[in-house]
Amino acid sequence: MADGGPLAPVPVPVALSEPPPQPRPRGLIHRLAASRRFQALAARLPFVNRLVAAEGAAIFDIVSGFVQSQALAALVELRVLDRAAEGPVADVPGLPPDRAALLLQAGAALRLLRRRRDGRYGLTLRGSAFLGVPGLADMVRHHRVLYADLADPAAFLRGETDPALARFWPYVFGAGAARDPAMAARYSRLMADTQVLVAEDTLRLVPLKGVAHLMDVGGGTGAFLRAVHARHPALRLTLFDLPAVVAGAEVPAGTTVAGGSFRDDPLPPGADAISLVRVLYDHADATVAALLARAFAALPPGGLLIVSEPMSGGARPDRATDVYFAFYTAAMRTGRTRSADEIGRLVAAAGFGRIRALRGPRPFVTSVLTARRPG
């Protein structure tokens, strides 16, 4: 776990409640799909049986998803994939043989490992790709906090729990909550590691043609600006974030570093473009509206606003953003995952125009919305 220390054990109920009556869906097609007699018949019909099998597998994948996530966490925690990258493995240090075999077989079922004829397990292309994603293993370790917060999902959704994730990210409550350098370094490191792919996709969607000076607001220790500088070395850059955060910034030479809180302080003027990378979804609508108003005030006429973050699918729900990120931001208790349309309305209310939503090539990494200050 990224913040160290074990979590308190979660009580496990000793008895299951009586199941509710079997629901009867409306509509003929839905009633047939729910009918066990029809399912058994369809499983014997040519062509239809393939659809039935695929739907059954998809349903079980959803049902068993939490176990798959925990198996992945064990593979990461016990460094199985790292060892397999150096050569085929047949055991897992610290585990008895039967449990090691269980985990290795699970890794192969997840297609992160490949079972060889000699009984050992080697790394697959998917496993290599997993290891190559910056910060992904740390994110999996960090998920221990989220798993605990969702142990009783109904109580979580009713607001009856005290999510630990909200205490993991106290910076979102404002500058007063983020004066601890150790806490600032903890979240900055995790954010910087996972920012690499976000920067790649953002700059692929927004070429920054015609921009002379970019200010990254809430930019942490400068990961996004380092990526911008690599592509646009002549661009003037400014980093704005909490003083405890920018104290550990690593930015290109010549970058202006400004410490402050976008919740309480005006943004420095002078930039003709402002980027908000994975910022809005951390905060409530009122905070977002105030931040966008400050961005509008800091930009000159024609200035460019860039919003980059995972976005809800809205009318077309997206599995990555409307499940993972939506629950994650809910556990933080300060923000939420918004659709491009919702963000666009907030941006328009701040006075911006020429709003464009750009769906990213990997929506689970990021999508982008751009807008201009009129004038």
> Average pLDDT over the chain, rounded to whole?
87
- Name the one residue in this structure whose structure tokens are 């979580």: 156
As a whole number of angstroms, the distance between CA 125 and CA 128 comes to: 5
Q: Where are the domains of the chain?
A: 36-131, 166-372
- pLDDT over 70 for what percent of the chain? 81
Structure tokens at 33: 């799909």
The answer on pLDDT for 266 being more than 60 is yes
- Name the one residue in this structure whose structure tokens are 């240090």: 93
Kindly state the average pLDDT of the residues 7-24. 56
Strands annotated E in the chain: 113-115, 121-123, 213-217, 236-241, 256-259, 273-277, 304-309, 353-358, 367-372
Confidence bin at 184 (pLDDT 50/70/90): low
Min mean pLDDT across 50-54, 254-258, 338-342 is at 50-54
Kindly state the average pLDDT of the residues 176-197. 62
Tell me the HSE value of 158 on the side-chain side, using a 13 A CA sphere: 6
DSSP 8-state symbol, 280: G
Confidence bin at 5 (pLDDT 50/70/90): very low
The answer on pLDDT for 192 being more than 70 is no
Confidence bin at 138 (pLDDT 50/70/90): confident
Q: What is the pTM of this model?
A: 0.82
The answer on pLDDT for 14 being more than 60 is no
Determine if residue 210 is left, alpha or beta; phi over 0 gives left, psi from -120 to 50 gives alpha, anything else beta. Answer: left
CATH architecture of 36-131: Orthogonal Bundle (1.10)
Three-class SS state of 291: helix
To the nearest 10 degrees (0 to 180), the angle between helices 97-109 and 65-77 is: 120
The tens digit of pLDDT for each residue in 93-129 reads 999 999 999 999 999 999 999 999 999 999 999 999 9
Kindly state the average pLDDT of the residues 83-100. 97
Confidence bin at 20 (pLDDT 50/70/90): low
Which amino acid, one-letter code, is at 249? A
Fold topology of 166-372? Rossmann fold (3.40.50)
- Number of C-beta neighbours around residue 126 at 10 A: 13
DSSP-derived secondary structure for 74-141: HHHHTTHHHHHHHS-BS--TTS-HHHHHHHHHHHHHTTSEEE-TTS-EEE-HHHHHHHHSTTHHHHHH
> What is the structure's pLDDT at 1?
36
